[in-house]
Structure 1
Amino acid sequence: MNTVRTAVLDHYGVERAQIDSASVTFLGVEPIEILRIPGDGAVHYATLGGSRHPMGDPADLLADPVRGPRAELVLTLLLSAGPQAGVARSLGVLVATPLVEGVVLQADALLDLGEPLWHNAKFTAVLLGESEVPEVELPDPAEPVRYLSVTPVTATEAAWVRVRGAQALREAWTEAGIDVRDPARGAVNL
């Protein structure tokens, strides 16, 4: 996990002393750490611990302990919005879904928590996408760790993804000039 921590901190150009972190623990799952990394006008919440084990097909009788995709998550929110109470727990739940539910985290995946992502949030689901954080190489034969971006979505936007796909929603955000990093944003008019 130190390799992954170093890579994400290097990407954002911060040192370990400049960040806050929280630990989230679920029964039967090793602790997951959520880093709160300050940025230029934004804050990045990055997970550590989801990539300890490769994700695999839950139908497989034996999980490969080394081979398979590995993922962590990063959520970026505008700093002006202030702290979002409960976001660390929600990210912990999301990154633990491969271990708990057998879900493979990948770009364009829509994950619904069924509850607000943080206190008083209007978002209960997220859309995963490609992240700017580069892949973190691990010793062979392990696959690299990929950071996936987390974009909060409203119920209307989640329905749009189910009907038209993730790319159509991203195009609608761009066309409407919506900054998805703004936790106070409204839903795109679809």
Structure 2
Amino acid sequence: MSTALGRPDARAAVTFLGTDRIEVLRFQEGDIVRYATLGMSAHPMTDPTAMLADPVKGPRAELVLSVRAGLAETDKVLRPLAVLGASPQVEGVVVAPGASLDVGEPLWPGAPFSSVLVAEPGGLVEDLELGEPMDPVRFLPLLPMTPNEAAWKRVHGAQALQERWLTSGTDLRDPARRSVPLD
């Protein structure tokens, strides 16, 4: 992660009852601030329907959120991002591309977003290979969604929402952006 993002300029740690510590690192490059979880990949994610959790094999991931600096109090996203990073341990979910994650409150003060779309990895931070038999750590980008976008995505799917954003030229890094037209 440090190869792709550089050195973090801030970090915060959150521990939830019954879970391992999740850190959120902050990286700034020009007018872009990136927040990345650290600790989510300590254990493989387990399918909640599985009879037994494999302590070694299974998908591993960390989350990366990128926003434009100085347009909102985005540093307040640290706790909500840690909550999302702890969700595999707390809720027994497997976080994968196309999934929606919701924190139930604005991601930062005044944010028009309370949920994110998990995007495909590999663009910004390459997978981190671990020794066999462990799966690599995937760095999953998070794309903030307005409540209307999240509802539209539930009906039409992640790919359709991403196409809407692309067609409309939506700046997904704008921390104060409005919903894409969905009619």
TM-score, scaled relative to structure 2: 0.94
In 2, the alpha carbon distance for the partners of 1:61 and 1:90 equals 30
Checking the alignment, whether the CA contact within 8 Å between 1:42 and 1:80 is kept in structure 2 is no
Q: Give the fraction of aligned pairs with identical amino acids, expressed as a percent.
A: 51
What's the counterpart of residue 9 of structure 1?
Answer: 2
Checking the alignment, whether the CA contact within 8 Å between 1:85 and 1:119 is kept in structure 2 is no
Taking a change above 3 Å as real, the CA distance of residues 83 and 114 of structure 1, as seen in their structure-2 partners, is closer
Taking a change above 3 Å as real, the CA distance of residues 119 and 22 of structure 1, as seen in their structure-2 partners, is same
Checking the alignment, whether the CA contact within 8 Å between 2:107 and 2:113 is kept in structure 1 is yes
After superposition, the C-alpha distances for 1:24-45 in whole angstroms (9 at most, x for unaligned) are 1100111111000011320100
1:55 partner SS? coil
What's the counterpart of residue 136 of structure 1?
Answer: 128
TM-score, scaled relative to structure 1: 0.90
* Structure 1 portions without partners, runs of 5+: 1-7
Report the Cα offset of residue 86 of structure 1. 2.6
* Structure 2 portions without partners, runs of 5+: none
CA RMSD of aligned residues (A): 1.2
How many residues end up aligned between the 2 structures?
180
Checking the alignment, whether the CA contact within 8 Å between 2:14 and 2:82 is kept in structure 1 is yes
* Structure 1 segment 1-190 matched on structure 2, within 5 A: 8-12=1-5, 14-15=6-7, 19-131=9-121, 132=123, 133-190=125-182
2:133 partner SS? coil
Checking the alignment, whether the CA contact within 8 Å between 2:73 and 2:109 is kept in structure 1 is no
In 1, the alpha carbon distance for the partners of 2:3 and 2:9 equals 12
After superposition, the C-alpha distances for 1:96-138 in whole angstroms (9 at most, x for unaligned) are 1111111100001011221111122111111000232100011
1:130 partner SS? coil
2:61 partner SS? strand
In 2, the alpha carbon distance for the partners of 1:57 and 1:73 equals 18
